[in-house]
Amino acid sequence: MGTALQSQRNRSYAIIGTGAIGGFYGAKLQQAGFEVHFLLHRDYQFVRQRGLRVDSVWGDFTLDSLNVYNDVHQMPGCDVVIVALKTTRNSLLTTLLPPVLKESGAVLMLQNGLGNEETVAPIVGPTHILGGLCFICSNKVAEGHIHHLDYGAITLGEYAPDYQPLGITPTLRDIAGDLEIAGIPTQFAEDLLLARWKKLIWNIPYNGLSVVLNARTDEIMENEYTRLLSEQLMREVGAVAAAYNREIPESFIQKMLDHTAKMKPYITSMKLDYDHHRPLEIESIVGNPLQAAIAKQIPVPKISMLYAQLNFINTQIQAKHPLTTS
């Protein structure tokens, strides 16, 4: 699956999607001395002229000089391409990825949901594809301005066809080493599919309910009915994962509930998209897991209802705000 990546500290990184996630982790890598190239869209001119500001619980900093682009064909080939686009824009990857990925490079998918690595595999061919599960509270609050509120660890796993577990590969160790140098805590997932289902334990209830209920995470957890609903959704996710031979222990569900209850008041990424009239990441976060449940005939009535509600809301967004959904 490709040749070995370059030695530590010499790896170059491309950030496809310089928002709350890609912008934060890319900025941390550049701050640590790595060569980083950022693809931007709406705030390209702002960041080019004024830099990137990061307000973080790990320490505030500003990068005054960055390698920024608004066209992938102007970017150099990089050893590692970090994809942090919203999954609603994954159709663009067929044109965005090939120009910036070295033949011996790797792609790291820092995206929510299920099935994103499978989407990228036909585009990049026989190269290393990694999935990254980000447990982080980070928002893009203005042009060139990211606010990192809490957490920040990434769980890394390498993808193989049909999500066969690959264990801890040399590529995983290489990229994790770079992230650790940048001050980003990392963990390894020997089984990427299990890691994806574990992330969905959190993402399905809190992203979905935050939009349907128009609520922050703390508001969801402080109400006995919606806390119970969150737990019930988590158990449905766990049942689907079990049907694919991925067991999620009861202790993990309790851990996610406890973490969220203690978390600073947080507006989820899907709620931010809703507030800004942007398309919602429904399919990757809720729709694909729902289809996985249907394929195994696992009843998930609450996930099904959440999916229907989110699609209604998403249709309303597109009808009322067509200019922001393109």
The pTM of the full predicted model, rounded to 2 decimals, is: 0.91
Q: Place 115 in a pLDDT band, splitting at 50, 70 and 90.
A: very high
The pLDDT tens digits for 65-74 are: 999 999 999 9
**97: Cβ contacts below 8 Å, ≥ 6 apart:** 16, 81, 83, 107, 120, 123, 124
**Spatial separation of the C-alpha atoms in residues 13 and 36, rounded to whole Å:** 5
Return the active site residues.
Answer: 199
Q: Place 317 in a pLDDT band, splitting at 50, 70 and 90.
A: very high
The pLDDT tens digits for 294-307 are: 999 999 999 999 99
**Spatial separation of the C-alpha atoms in residues 297 and 164, rounded to whole Å:** 22
The pLDDT tens digits for 18-43 are: 999 999 999 999 999 999 999 999 99
End-to-end CA distance of the chain: 36
The pLDDT tens digits for 170-200 are: 999 999 999 999 999 999 999 999 999 999 9
- Given a cut of 60, whether residue 290 has pLDDT beyond it is yes
Q: Specify the range with the lowest mean pLDDT, choosing from 6-10, 47-51, 100-104, 213-217.
A: 6-10
Question: Beta strand pairing status for 101-109 and 67-69?
Answer: unpaired
Compute CA distances 118 → 4, 114, 174, whole Å.
22, 9, 22
Instruction: Sort 144 into a burial class: Cβ within 10 Å, 0-12 / 13-18 / 19+.
Output: buried
Q: Place 150 in a pLDDT band, splitting at 50, 70 and 90.
A: confident
**Of 284, 232, 282, 240, residue with least CA distance to 257:** 232
Total residue count of the chain as it appears in this document: 326
- Given a cut of 60, whether residue 2 has pLDDT beyond it is no
Kindly report the three-state secondary structure assignment for every residue of the chain. CCCCCCCCCCCEEEEECCCCCHHHHHHHHHHCCCEEEEECCCCHHHHHHHCEEEEECCCCEEECCCEEECCHHHCCCEEEEEECCCHHHHHHHHHHCCCCEEEEEEEEECCCCCCHHHHHHHHHCCCEEEEEEEEEEEEEEECCEEEEEEEEEEEEEECCHHHCCCCCCHHHHHHHHHHHHCCCCEEECCCHHHHHHHHHHHHHHHHHHHHHCCCCHHHHHHCHHHHHHHHHHHHHHHHHHHHCCCCCCHHHHHHHHHHHHHCCCCCCHHHHHHHCCCCCCHHHHHHHHHHHHHHCCCCCHHHHHHHHHHHHHHHHHHHHCHHHCC
Q: What pLDDT was estimated at residue 97?
A: 97
